[in-house]
Amino acid sequence: MSLFEKMDASFFTILVSKNKDRYVDLLLEIHDCIYRNQTMSMERSLLVDLLEEYVKDREISLDFKEEEEYAQIETELRQEKDTYGKDIQFLLRLFEKHGWINVDLHMDTMKKMVSLPYHSRVFITFVNDIIKEREQIGYMIRIHASLKDMEDPMKIEDSYQHIRNAYADFKELILTLEQTNARIRDYYAIQVKKVSTKIYHDFFDVYYGDIVEGYVFPTLVEDSLKRFKNPVANILETLLHDETLKEKIIDSATSHYRVNGRDHAKKSIESMLYAMYNDLNIVENLTAQLVNSDASYRRLAKQKIMYLCNSDQGLKGKLVELIHHMKEEPQITSDMISQTMNIQKTQYIPKNEVYSFAKRKRKQSEDIMRFTFDEEAPDQSQLEEKIGLDRYERFTKEKVAAYYKDKLKDQSAGKLKDIGVKDMDDYIRSILIYVYGRDRKMDIEATLLPNETQGIEEGNFHYPNLLIRKKGDS
């Protein structure tokens, strides 16, 4: 039996109610109240007390008069002689009618107990995850605020802690983004694969309007990333190169946060700053992956609805009616949907277009590239250099490190575009230094500059800018 077969057909009614935001908030509070004490149920009287206090503290107003069940529940409550607040009583009865909670009589104590059925727990837990993940937008804001605080002379004493806070927020954001994709996939697996056609009929506008059109995607981090990526990267770059400011941060670490030794503090600070540079790129890549993943799952949801509409005129009518209520060019959109649903599902390749292996021809021998030795070359080394046999030796770790040390001269760090890119060898070195630099024995390393929107173009190649730095001197 699937999850949705256990649910009442009116389960989603409260999510399209005028009070849906308050209902979701109170359902989450019920979930927390029950599981805060690691129990599966709670006395209704105790839960009512907790909810009344919660509503009072947050000044939540409830108006049930527009609910379809208002008159029926009003009559039922008048027949009962409970002394509890009417609003919370109505709320619990409403949740019970739509299958979000169970109210049962405890056989030993004869007290009414409130519990959450399995399908309700699954959905409330997911909603809770959605809300937490929407707070990802707060990570980028906090990271920017933490780094921005170091520009305030009054807050410079706490600058080391600000860097630690920003660093921790980056790691938490990356972890959250990595977990989000799995949650999206699991949710769509339930919503798209297991939901019954009856649920589609009863709540078609909810499924198409909310789920298919993007209700599920929980991250707003993409918007905040666009706004704060460059400002954060600029602050990080300033912190890395402003030695006066860096000394003040070191003072903060040693005098206020008991970091042992200035050298250790400097190494720790620079390590976090460079790590945050790379974290910006990781966050950007993960966010792009999530956007693409979510779009793919929503496309699958649309395909299933189109498939059902092909075989169910009732659903097709609901879809066309829904499209007509949309703002943008309803008739054109409706015609396009109808045309899409009438397309033949199986298409065959015409017989004369089937690929024939007989059409393959062996390449002519003169097309094969051959090396010819230059008889006038004075020695073998010049010949090897000419045909590129010395390339392996030129790109060893030692040679690449020496090359960039010479380019940096007395500088501790420099941008790749300022150091200079001349030919294909420089392109190869720029890749190798990024890979080689992770070796502990290397004294040169490279990190990406995420705020550099323009990379370096050399011929047909376009590659990101890098910051080349000496490990020991920076």
Domain with 71 in it:
3-121
Alpha-carbon torsion angle 19, 25, 26, 27, nearest 10: 100
Residues 399 and 331 reside in one and the same domain:
no
What is the pTM (predicted TM-score) of this model? Answer: 0.43
Residues 164 and 116 reside in one and the same domain:
no
Whether the per-residue pLDDT at 164 is higher than 60: the answer is: yes
Average pLDDT, stretch 41-56? 87
* Cβ contact 280:233 at 8 Å: yes
- The predicted structure's pLDDT at residue 3: 53
Residues 104 and 222 reside in one and the same domain:
no
Q: Is 369 helix (H, G, I), strand (E, B) or coil?
A: coil
Per the domain annotation, does 453 fall within a domain?
yes
List pLDDT tens digits, range 61-91.
Answer: 877 777 777 777 777 777 766 545 577 888 8
Residues 317 and 217 reside in one and the same domain:
yes
Residues 334 and 437 reside in one and the same domain:
no
Among 148-152, 346-350, 379-383, the least confident range: 346-350
Among 56-65, 99-108, 250-259, 333-342, the least confident range: 333-342
Per the domain annotation, does 354 fall within a domain?
no
Integer-rounded Cα Rg, in Å, for the chain is 32
pLDDT band for position 339 (cuts 50, 70, 90): low
Per the domain annotation, does 148 fall within a domain?
yes
pLDDT band for position 361 (cuts 50, 70, 90): very low
- The predicted structure's pLDDT at residue 139: 77
Q: In 109-221, where do the E strands start and end?
A: 112-115
- The predicted structure's pLDDT at residue 359: 38
Higher pLDDT, 38 or 150: 150
From 121, 153, 180, give the residue that closes a domain: 121
Q: Strands 461-463 and 413-415: what pairing?
A: unpaired
From 87, 121, 155, give the residue that closes a domain: 121
pLDDT band for position 230 (cuts 50, 70, 90): confident
Residues 140 and 113 reside in one and the same domain:
no
- The predicted structure's pLDDT at residue 130: 57
Per the domain annotation, does 263 fall within a domain?
yes
Per the domain annotation, does 129 fall within a domain?
no
Burial string for 235-265 (b: 16+ CB within 10 Å, else e) reads bbbebbeeeebbebbbbbbbeeeebeeeeeb
What is the number of other CB atoms lying within 10 angstroms of the CB of residue 400? 22
Residues 9 and 101 reside in one and the same domain:
yes
Residues 115 and 147 reside in one and the same domain:
no
Highest mean pLDDT among 102-106, 191-195, 216-220: 102-106
- The predicted structure's pLDDT at residue 374: 43
What distance in Å separates the CA atoms of residue 216 and residue 185, rounded to the nearest whole number? 10
Percentage of the chain exceeding pLDDT 90 = 0
From 121, 154, 178, give the residue that closes a domain: 121
| Residue 410 CB partners (closer than 8 Å, separation 6+) | none
Among 231-240, 336-345, 456-465, the least confident range: 336-345
Per the domain annotation, does 379 fall within a domain?
no
Among 3-12, 236-245, 403-412, the least confident range: 3-12
Residues 219 and 337 reside in one and the same domain:
yes
Crossing angle, helix 118-134 and helix 136-148, to 10 degrees?
30
Residues 155 and 188 reside in one and the same domain:
yes
Per the domain annotation, does 422 fall within a domain?
yes
Residues 201 and 308 reside in one and the same domain:
yes
Question: Based on the structure, what is the number of domains in the chain?
Answer: 3
Among 186-200, 223-237, 408-422, the least confident range: 186-200
Residues 307 and 184 reside in one and the same domain:
yes
